[in-house]
Structure 1
Amino acid sequence: MRKGVTFLTTLALTGVLTLPVTAQDTPSADTVVASVDGTDITLGHVIVAFSTLPAQYQQLGPDVLLPGIIDQLVRQTALAQSFEGEPSRAARLSLENEERSVMAGEAVEATMATAVSDADIQAAYDSRFADGTAGEEYNASHILVETEEEALAIVEELNGGADFVEVAKAKSIGPSRENGGALGWFGPGRMVPDFEAAVISLQPETISGPVQTEFGWHVIRLNETRVVDAPALEEVRDEIQLELQQIAVTEHIEALVASADVVLPDLSDLDPASIMNLDLLRN
């Protein structure tokens, strides 16, 4: 299946991208930056193209990107004008998908713009930090080994009086071994769930039994805990707003789908591998 022309595929475009662009005091999205056989390319087209570039291209700087994007849009326009006949089925379906995606994005932006008020943010902040704190943080160390048997032997060794730091340096396979297993301070959500649950269950200056995670078997020592003061509202305003917006968008989408007349035919006879059959687009 044919793919669309990628922006700036030849960028660095070796410095040959020196299309003259006339500076204007008050440019707008309608400012014409090029014309191909009467078809205008505007600054708005360039801005949209820039916004979809991969991050590595966006770092090149506007002095390089402006003429580079214009050059690519000129090339695309010339190619599009040269096409004769009807677009292929793949092209038509691609355009339908693109329009669906763009309009869905517009709907999301519209929902996010009106979904959350300052009062909503304040209420969420007050609820999250009702006691004036941001909860507890934990300072822990661990010894990571490959098997439960090794972990059990280490627990026995530590219970017999061995120094945790020295055992960690000698036997841990984790990157923290050089620090005697020390992990420093961390809050909820920073560690994998089983590890975090084991830490929370401990009293300061005690060790856990073997704890299994995707990384191996851990023996954990909780060194100490501390209560963290709540941040000021302005420090977390953007974070809270985004969380509330995401909730609102999810609820809005679910409500739309629930109220829509969605028909899902029986696909039990459809081979899932058919999604990879590009030959179907040539029929």
Structure 2
Amino acid sequence: MLKSRNFWGTVALTVSMALPVQAEELKVDSVVATVDGVEITLGHMLMVRAFLPEQYQQLPGDVLWDGILDQLIQQQVLSTDEMAKETPRVRIALDNERRSQLASVVLAELAEQPIPEDEIKAAYEAEYANGPQGKEFNASHILVETEEEAQAIVAELAAGADFATLAKEKSTGPSGPGGGALGWFGPGMMVPPFQEAVEKMEPGGVGGPVKTQFGWHVIKLNETRIKEAPSLDQVRAQIESTLRQQTVTKKIEDLVNAANVTRTKKEDVDTSILSNLDLLEN
């Protein structure tokens, strides 16, 4: 019995040793490596991961881990080499990066601030509810290759031929099988000659021939309507985006106006100097 208990104890120990150790729960400031006492943290790795080229963005962590950590370790040892010098390029790049990152924090904070519902409703009323939405047109057309063909179709229609029937028989456009119907469209949605002809027509009227880059058109304006305003829910995201952009713009303008800013006029300098990147090496 003693031997049996020892045997099963050995098996249990062996199995427990074979189980994977639970991965340590890391935080952004968790140290993942040290190089001569200098700590490399998970946060450093995350920043490298955030700026990887797009083709690497979808790779899982187990594929990226060693490569990112190796890169940081190699950069650290190189940065302490005697040949490493804080050149003007390095110093200026660090200045710009710090400035950019701090500005990004402010922009992110502004983007997360909720927009009051009354401002959203007011913007909706101003943009949609109280303003004209324009006219929409429902038209059909028959597309042919020559002006002579188009004129012949106009003559047939004047003699009482059915527009949809002629479109099915003679139109070379993709709408032909559907009787030439184009459905509803608004200003600017058709090529200019076609749009201009439609906008001059009365509902039920036939116009043409009209030439476009696609050929010759005979057009029938079926009906018109005033475009209905979208609901608030349909345009809420667009309105919120516009209001947030306005908030950011105003914040920047207010800060610039409050700051003591001096700037060199471009008229006083040779602006071609911006192409002389060799100055960064001096």
TM range (shorter): 0.5 to 0.7
d(CA) in 2 for partners of 1:201, 1:182: 17
Q: 1:211 to 1:274 in 2, by over 3 A?
A: farther
Asked whether the 8 Å contact 1:137–1:186 carries over to 2, the reply is yes
Deviation at 1:92, TM superposition (A): 1.2
Q: Identify unmatched segments of 5+ residues in structure 2.
A: 1-20, 156-165
Q: 1:95 to 1:210 in 2, by over 3 A?
A: farther
Equivalent residue, structure 1, for 2:239? 240
d(CA) in 1 for partners of 2:100, 2:218: 47
Report the secondary structure of 2:278's partner residue: helix
Asked whether the 8 Å contact 1:206–1:223 carries over to 2, the reply is no
Equivalent residue, structure 1, for 2:230? 230
TM-score (norm 1): 0.61
Deviation at 1:232, TM superposition (A): 5.9
Paired letter, 1:248: T
Measured on the aligned residues, the alpha-carbon RMSD in Å equals 4.8
Q: Identify unmatched segments of 5+ residues in structure 1.
A: 1-20, 144-149, 170-176
d(CA) in 1 for partners of 2:190, 2:98: 39
Deviation at 1:141, TM superposition (A): 8.4
Asked whether the 8 Å contact 2:141–2:217 carries over to 1, the reply is yes
Equivalent residue, structure 1, for 2:24? 24
TM-score (norm 2): 0.61
Instruction: Decide which structure has greater helix share.
Output: 2
Asked whether the 8 Å contact 1:134–1:231 carries over to 2, the reply is no
Q: 1:63 to 1:258 in 2, by over 3 A?
A: same
Identity rate of aligned residues, in percent? 38
Asked whether the 8 Å contact 1:140–1:182 carries over to 2, the reply is yes
Alignment deviations for residues 44-80 of structure 1 (CA, whole Å, 9 cap, x no partner): 2222222222322212233323333223222222222
Q: 1:249 to 1:210 in 2, by over 3 A?
A: farther
Equivalent residue, structure 2, for 1:161? 154
Kindly indicate whether residue 129 of structure 2 is the aligned counterpart of residue 100 of structure 1: no
d(CA) in 2 for partners of 1:158, 1:262: 69
Paired letter, 1:34: A
Equivalent residue, structure 1, for 2:260? 261
Q: How many residues align?
A: 243
Equivalent residue, structure 2, for 1:9? none
Equivalent residue, structure 1, for 2:5? none
Report the secondary structure of 2:32's partner residue: strand
Paired letter, 2:23: A
Asked whether the 8 Å contact 1:36–1:78 carries over to 2, the reply is yes
Alignment deviations for residues 193-245 of structure 1 (CA, whole Å, 9 cap, x no partner): 97998599455676699899xx9999896776664673462x54433322211
Q: 1:157 to 1:142 in 2, by over 3 A?
A: closer
d(CA) in 2 for partners of 1:73, 1:199: 66
Asked whether the 8 Å contact 1:139–1:184 carries over to 2, the reply is yes
